[in-house]
Amino acid sequence: MRRFAYCKVVLTTSLVWVLVDVFLLLYFSECNKCDDRKDRSLLPALRGESTLSKQA
Per-residue pLDDT of the chain (56 residues; tens, 9 = 90+): 788 899 999 999 999 999 999 999 888 876 655 655 555 566 666 666 665 555 54
CA 42, 46, 52, 56 torsion-angle sign:
negative
DSSP class of residue 31? Answer: -
Can you give the pLDDT at residue 10?
Answer: 96
Is residue 10 within 8 A of residue 18, CB to CB? The reply is: no
